[in-house]
Structure 1
Amino acid sequence: MTSLPRIAPMLATPGLLPPASSDAAYAYEVKQDGQRCIAYLPGDGTLLLRSRSGVDITPAYPDLSDLGTALGSRPAVLDGEIIAPDRDGRADFQRLQSRMGLAGSPARAARVANRIPAHLMLFDVLVLDTENLIRAVYSERRATLENLDLAGSNWSTPAAIVGHGTQALEMTRSAGLEGLVAKRLTSPYQPGTRSRAWIKIRNVETADIIIGGWLPGHGRLTNLPGALLMGQPRSGGLQFVGSVGTGWTDADRTRLAAVLADLATETCPFAERPAVTGARWVEPHTVAEVRYTTRTRAGRLRQPAWHRLRPDLSPNDLC
């Protein structure tokens, strides 16, 4: 059995499309709405999946286990994103959430997999045979990955288009997809680094936030969140960036109420106490994603709307 190096995933930096003068220097991939993972194939038929934070999530995805035999006895380390496709084949993060967090319950994971199959989108190869490829440039790694012809019922290698970034972004917008990741052709793989060599371009502005408290709803929603108090880590502590109270369903509210009940505290977690009345404070352990239009000069999010919980991220991932 080959011993494979543990590699932290390279991360993309939010930004805009590269200028037209640099367009041909980038490859464009569809931004997937799923759970990032590094896949380890030691060449003995087994598979190990690690999340972005390094946690072993293999038992949560038994339907991906056959990937361990896809390259025969060739050991490899692959980078990709696990998604739960909807009826149209598009990533649906809400569907995927029912698969996440089941690593400690293999029997339940197997039952859920029968209803909601996972699919692993592979977009990079970091180790192949005895060769570590992280210093190879993206274009070489991409060619190597495509030559592996990794396509199965539960995994595939999505297309990457060199140049034509404007057209590619418009395609994602028309298809209702999240956006693109632009990857510089000459860039090596930078483990654990949020790099400008990879730029994620979204069709809407989104932000990962930490829930620091909530305000009760009104009427029948008195015991459920009417709004969440959002924070983002800064050098002085958790900065209050506003509240979000739209974009969710009653089921979302009920789910959040259960999550936040276990985190209740009397202590405000924000560096500066927000000027709100009736706040219920919680330990700042829960990460979520919201959509918004712009930021104010004070850093508040304008017109935020709830998008989803991010159980695949911890507050430390936002620092």
Structure 2
Amino acid sequence: MLATPGRLPPAAQDARWAYETKQDGQRVVVYLPGDAGMLLRARSGEEITAAYPELRPLARALGRTPAILDGEVLAVDEHGRADFQLLQSRMGLAHAPARAARMAARVPVHLVLFDVLLLTDPLLTTAYAERRRRLESLSLQGPYWSTPRAVVGHGAEALRATREHGLEGLVCKRLDSVYEPGVRSRAWIKIRNMRAEDVIVGGWLPGKGRLTELPGAVLVGQRSADGRLRYVGGVGTGWSTAERTELAALLRAAATGSCPFDPVPPVPGAHWVLPRLVGEVSYSTRTRAGLLRQPSWLRLRPDLAPEASAADLPRDLG
């Protein structure tokens, strides 16, 4: 069962919903047959048990009670936050168990459990509130797995807390919702926290098809502490056709043969421009290298010169 992107439920319905922290990991279904065995399946249906050997002791956590659990595998950074880029070093190793074991020692994962689909008997048609109660009664807390708390009501406060702690976002789940395998349901709503920052345009990539003569993406950067313009990613969404056309004219007028980024990013086919255009973009998080994830163009900032903008890298990246 998948969540639909959306907004917080109306305040008048707040008490009918539970709120869970949105995780940034690999969704898995955990099969515990009650015979000390365990099987993990990804959303694609692929078996990935061997990719995460540190989770094997979970097989004995419920003794002989068969269960099917829904959760997400995370890799956590030094600040205790889920880091999908870090997790990618662990994904895709189901067919390389020796390497998976070596990586488990370097980048251990943590399994977050948030639903139970079977506990001796099937629970798919049981309301979320009761499924959640049964899940919490299992007390599944271990060295590499846990059952984080869900909050009933107080959605606005829960969302605010995820923003203040720099978390991915919030998942809202209707208390009376049944579990619909494979369905993207309005009974579950996901809200991704987005951030906004100033960036300096240093280049662009041509579009394709009807956008051949227009920018398909702009290449943007932010200043590091030593004054260099560091590349932070390409932004290819967020414009109307008119805005894209306007931007194309500005980019042509600022064309240069030299890359303004230091170091030069590996972007084949890039057209470089003088770093004098400032824009504002939204994004979800950053990679460990400082690149923006899911960036989208918000607006051009003609009122700001680059030196007067807030287009600065965070201190820990600059």
**RMSD of equivalent CA atoms:** 3.3
Question: Would the alpha carbon gap of residues 102 and 160 (structure 1) be closer, same or farther in structure 2, given more than 3 Å must change?
Answer: same
* 1:52 partnered with 2:43: yes
* 1:71 partnered with 2:75: no
Which of the numbers 75, 78, 97 marks the counterpart of 2:88?
Answer: 97
Which of the numbers 101, 108, 111 marks the counterpart of 2:102?
Answer: 111
For 2:206 and 2:133, the matched residues in 1 are separated by 45
For 1:228 and 1:60, the matched residues in 2 are separated by 39
Question: Structure 2: where are the runs of 5+ without partners?
Answer: 196-201, 210-214, 223-229, 235-244, 249-267, 271-291, 300-318
User: Displacement, 1:182?
Assistant: 0.2
Which of the numbers 284, 290, 299 marks the counterpart of 2:294?
Answer: 290
8 Å Cα contact 1:230-1:243 kept in structure 2 = no
For 1:250 and 1:96, the matched residues in 2 are separated by 23
8 Å Cα contact 2:221-2:233 kept in structure 1 = no
Name the counterpart of 2:15: 24
User: Displacement, 1:243?
Assistant: 2.9
Q: Which moved more, 1:191-200 or 1:80-89?
A: 80-89
SS in 2 for 1:201: strand
Question: Would the alpha carbon gap of residues 185 and 294 (structure 1) be closer, same or farther in structure 2, given more than 3 Å must change?
Answer: farther
* 1:184 partnered with 2:188: no
User: Displacement, 1:245?
Assistant: 3.7
Percent identity of equivalent pairs:
58
SS in 2 for 1:159: coil
* 1:140 partnered with 2:114: no
For 2:27 and 2:61, the matched residues in 1 are separated by 20
The normalised TM-score by structure 2 is 0.66
Name the counterpart of 2:153: 163
For 2:126 and 2:174, the matched residues in 1 are separated by 12
Amino acid at match of 2:182: G
**Deviation readout 1:106-126 (Å, 9 max, x if unpaired):** 000000000110100000000
8 Å Cα contact 2:90-2:103 kept in structure 1 = yes
**Deviation readout 1:226-274 (Å, 9 max, x if unpaired):** 759799xxxxxxxxx9436447988999xxxxxxxxxxxxxxxxxxxxx
User: Displacement, 1:26?
Assistant: 0.5
Question: Would the alpha carbon gap of residues 244 and 31 (structure 1) be closer, same or farther in structure 2, given more than 3 Å must change?
Answer: farther
Give the paired residue count: 233
